[in-house]
Amino acid sequence: METILAFVVGGLFAAGLYMMMRRSIVKLIIGLALLSHGVNLLIFTAANLTRANPPIVPDGAKQPLPPVADPLPQALILTAIVISFAVLSFALVLLHRVYQAVGTDDIDRLKPVDE
């Protein structure tokens, strides 16, 4: 299963980088989303997640019953999802504003601000 996930992560990274190298800002944002999904899957794969009991200590016990799921990768992924949603939302609003001001989403046609 890890081999399949490795190929999926590699495909997401390749597609994300390919989309980020296009001339359109919309494709850049899509590439950014693909990269964030690839990183999330990479963390899940590296953590070697399995279906197990929640890490809750029962009454009268000193430690949870094995096997126990590791909550740290799940917390990292949840945080990464929230941060990537905020970054993508900001990028979409920025894209909308750039398109209103310039009239194109082509990166090469954007005029420099310094002039």
CATH of the domain at 12: 1.10.287.3510
Mean pLDDT of the region 38-50: 88
Is there a domain that residue 25 lies in?
A: yes
Q: What is the pTM of this model?
A: 0.80
Domain count, the chain: 1
Is there a domain that residue 93 lies in?
A: yes
Percent pLDDT > 70 in the chain is: 96
Mean pLDDT of the region 31-43: 94
Is there a domain that residue 18 lies in?
A: yes
Give whole-number Cα distances, 55 to 48, 49, 59, 67, 80, in Å: 16, 13, 13, 9, 22
Q: Which of 83, 95, 106, 103 has its CA nearest to residue 29? A: 95
**Model confidence over 48-85: pLDDT tens digits?**
877 788 888 888 888 888 888 888 888 999 999 999 99
Is there a domain that residue 62 lies in?
A: no
Is there a domain that residue 33 lies in?
A: yes
- Give the pLDDT of residue 91: 92
Is there a domain that residue 59 lies in?
A: no
Is there a domain that residue 61 lies in?
A: no
* Domain enclosing residue 18, as ranges: 2-51+69-109
